[in-house]
Amino acid sequence: MLHRDDILKLVSGRHPSPESILGCHQHGGSSWVIRVFEPGASEITVSWPETDLRLSMQRLHEEGLFTVDVEQLPAGPYRLAIRYTDGHERERFDSYCFGAEIGELDIYLFTTGNHHHIYRKLGAHPIQRDGVSGTRFAVWAPTAQRVSIVGDFNLWDGRRHIMRRVANSGIWELFVPDVAPGAIYKYEIRSFDDKVFLKTDPYAFQMELRPDTGSIVCELDGYDWQDSEWMQQRAASNPMRQPINIYEVHPGSWRLGENGFLDWVQLTRELVPYVTEMGYTHIELMGLAEHPLDRSWGYQVTGYYAANARHGSPHQLMAFIDACHAAGIGVIMDWVPAHFPKDDFALARFDGTYLYEHADPRQGEHREWGTKIFNYGRNEVRNFLVSNALFWLERYHIDGIRVDAVASMLYLDYSRDEGEWLPNRFGGRENLEAIDFLRQLNKTLFQYYPGILSIAEESTAFPGVTQPPEQGGLGFNFKWNMGWMNDTLRYMSMDPLYRKHHSSLVTFAMLYAWSENFILPISHDE
């Protein structure tokens, strides 16, 4: 028998573990009970596709809680035929007759910060379970009272698909039958302090075009890559012994089409031949991940795993990169692990607590940019970021990353006055957790993808940026020489009459040119 308290919590969307009530449960030896909660239903019949058995369910609560006893339970998932009080009907499989898929090894690796492909587990994944097509959803929200999947497929009602907790991992998971690629969804979260709000999926592979902020169920598989020879040659190459000439591109402003932004098909036709003709070896793409503001460089990322929707579909982006490789051009992603925006639909206070960021603003807020700073000391946050870089390398065949704003990661007092920052455990200004994260990042990237570029945009004299981690370095293979760029631009901006008095501006960089593996940039920053 169900306790009245459990029923009231369930129908109000406050039950912490609905799977303990809903679905199929054994009771009394060989008999079973099936319970379904479907708000607005007047009748429900349960059946099994491979049998003739059909059972009418009994209403337990007027909000839509139904039950039925089954003496001999047929094998396989069961289907629900539902009639609603307004007269319309629908059929669906029950999410709660499918068990969890995320296992103990996944949990261990994720909570220790070492699940390199966690994006294969978290997020939305179209799959088949026991012959039933649908989407498996999973999200990390450890302090939430409840997490639900909401979308057009369930009338955005957070009571209909409440997710199940996976052990004590902080992960919530649920398989929703019949939800196909293209479905728009969000997570409805009830926080520890009883507030209810919507969040986009941190691991979503696709998002709606701004100003809409929904996540989209996306099937990344299916693109037929033609760059196997390129990928094999890259893996066997040493970038240190090859010429590199990079064209930095912001696709949203490089050229505009009749309808605004060029899509990846148009950029393939126009940008790739231009870069080839100009003699560049690589394209560095800015604003590749989803971000809300058109008039920006894309550094306030709200969808780390979602390609910028302004330029087309994920498969169109794959085709663009494939075309670059066919033309002998490498593709570098401008990647932003230093900070993230405060937009209330994205990562900030994701489960109602400071989950991805530090709680103390002296550590967790970048006042100059008005953004949040990642908590690199939290295993799951490091895992999110390392896995993200691997994701772009694996799924989109990116040839490298340029890591933005590394200096802001390395120093706890970056852009802060006295009293506005907290020292590390030794009393110093170095962000030890960020240093460990960068070392882990680069070791992992080169372990999976030798031959790629990992470039630091680092504006200070922090030592060993391009030295291996085992030698005390950060593990990048290149660093932007910001000093050379600033000195050169300052020199060129002078009246030619006076340049002869400032020749040191163009020679000073030679004093430290061999201290790191430098790339000489003339970039958008200036």
Contact 6, 45 (CB under 8 A): no
Give the Cα separation of 234 and 451 in Å (integer): 5
526 flagged as catalytic: no
Helix, strand, coil in percent for the chain, rounding step 5: 25, 25, 45
Q: 85 to each of 44, 46, 93, 401, 487, how far by Cα in Å?
A: 11, 18, 20, 55, 74
Between CA 114 and CA 117 the distance in angstroms is 9
Euclidean distance between CA atoms 217 and 205, whole angstroms: 7
Amino acid identity of residue 293, one-letter, is L
32 exposure class (CB count in 10 Å sphere: 0-12, 13-18, 19+): middle
Q: Are 440 and 479 in contact (CB under 8 A)?
A: no
* Best CA proximity match to 475, nearest among 458, 494, 495, 496: 458
Q: Measure the CA–CA gap between 479 and 454, rounded to whole angstroms.
A: 8
Counting Cα atoms < 13 Å in the Cβ hemisphere of 495 gives 2
Catalytic residue among 173, 457, 487, 516: 457
Q: Is 96 helix (H, G, I), strand (E, B) or coil?
A: helix
Grouping H, G, I as helix, E, B as strand and the rest as coil, residue 289 is strand
Catalytic-labelled residue, pool 284, 404, 433, 516: 404
- The answer to whether 93 touches 134, Cβ cutoff 8 Å, is yes
Whether the Cβ atoms of residue 519 and residue 481 lie closer than 8 Å to each other: yes
CA angle (360 as vertex; 356, 365 as ends), nearest 5: 65
Q: What is the DSSP letter of 208?
A: P
Find out whether 306 and 213 touch, Cβ atoms under 8 Å. Answer: no
Q: What is each CA distance from 188 to 156, 163, 330, in whole angstroms?
A: 9, 10, 40
Task: Name residue 94's amino acid.
Answer: D
Vertex 240, ends 466 and 250: CA angle to 5°?
80
Answer yes or no: 404 catalytic: yes
CB 284 within 8 A of CB 249: yes
CB atoms within 10 A of CB 292: 18
Q: Where are the beta strands (DSSP E) in 19-131?
A: 23-26, 32-37, 41-47, 54-56, 58-61, 65-70, 79-84, 89-93, 123-129
Enzyme catalytic residues: 404, 457
